[in-house]
Amino acid sequence: MKIKVNKKILAKNEDFAVANRKFFKKQGLFCINMISSPGSGKTTILTETIKLLKNKIRIGVIEGDLQTEIDAERIRKTGAQAYQIETQGACHLNAEQITNALSKLDLEKLDIIVIENVGNLVCPADFDLGEEKRVFVLSTAEGDDKCAKYPQSFAKADILLLNKIDLTKYLDFDIARVKKDAMKLNKNLKIFEISAKTLEGMDNWLNWLLKSSKKK
C-alpha cells in the first residue's frame, strides 16, 4: 500500500516537473537543483557565486527550508532575487511548489534559476523539479563514506561540488576515494573541488555555470 501511494505522489510530481522543464526552455532560463545535507555550505556557495558573477549573469534563487526566511535573506543581501518556500516540516521540495514559486520572481530579469533544496540526502533525490542540471554538494566535514550510504544522490547528479576543501588538512577526508567511488556510481559526473570560504577552486565551477547557462 505504501508503495502505491508513493508511486502516485511521484507521478503527480513528474507532471509538474515536465511542465516546469518546458517552461524554463521557453523562457530561456537555465535551472539547477542543489541537493545536500544541512550545513554543507549551499547558501554560501550561492552568495559567493552570485557576487562573483554579478556583472556576467543574473541569478535568482528559490530557497527550500522547513522554516525561516534566513537563507532567502542572505541571498537578497547580495542584491539577487530570492523566494523562500517554507515546507512546514516536509523534508524535500516538489515540482508543484516550484511552479508556484516561479510566479513570485521577476523572470524577465533572470538568466539562471537555482533551487536550493531542503538539506536532506534521502528523498530530494527522488523528486525531479524540472531542473536542467542537478548539483550535489558534499562538504569534507561530512565524512568520505557518503557514496556508499547515499548512492542515489550521486547517481542522479550532474555535478558534484566537493566543498570546504580548505578544511581537509584537519580532517580524515580522502578526496581521491570519494572521487573514485562517485565516478563508479555515475561515470558522467563532473566533480569540482571548491571552498566557498577561501574561494579556492571556484573558477572551475563558475566557468561551468556560465558556459552551461549560455548554451540555452
Q: Which residues bind Zn ion (CB under 5 A)?
A: 91-92, 123
Q: How far apart are CA 9 and CA 158, in angstroms?
A: 24
Query: Which of Zn ion, Mg ion, none sits in contact with 123, Cβ below 5 to 8 A by type?
Result: Zn ion
All 3 cell numbers of residue 45? 556557495
- Distance linking the first and last C-alpha atoms of the chain: 42
All 3 cell numbers of residue 89? 516540516
Q: How far apart are CA 143 and CA 145, in angstroms?
A: 6
Looking at beta carbons only, is 42 or 186 nearer to Mg ion?
A: 42
To the nearest whole angstrom, how small is the minimum distance from the Cβ of residue 123 to Zn ion? 3
Using CB under 5 A as the binding rule, whether residue 117 contacts Mg ion is answered as no
Using CB under 5 A as the binding rule, whether residue 71 contacts Mg ion is answered as yes
Select the span of 14-22, 64-72, 141-149, 203-211 touching Mg ion (CB under 5 A): 64-72
Q: How far apart are CA 191 and CA 27, in angstroms?
A: 28
Q: Residue 144 class from Cβ within 10 Å (0-12 exposed, 13-18 middle, 19+ buried)?
A: buried
**Alpha helices, H only, 28-145:** 42-52, 70-76, 95-102
Query: Which of Zn ion, Mg ion, none sits in contact with 49, Cβ below 5 to 8 A by type?
Result: none
Query: Which of Mg ion, Zn ion, none sits in contact with 164, Cβ below 5 to 8 A by type?
Result: none
Using CB under 5 A as the binding rule, whether residue 43 contacts Mg ion is answered as yes
Looking at beta carbons only, is 71 or 128 nearer to Mg ion?
A: 71
Query: Which of Zn ion, Mg ion, none sits in contact with 158, Cβ below 5 to 8 A by type?
Result: none
Using CB under 5 A as the binding rule, whether residue 144 contacts Mg ion is answered as no
* Residue, CB closest to Mg ion: 43
Looking at beta carbons only, is 6 or 198 nearer to Zn ion?
A: 6
Residues with Cβ within 8 Å of 12's Cβ and at least 6 positions away in sequence, in order, are 96
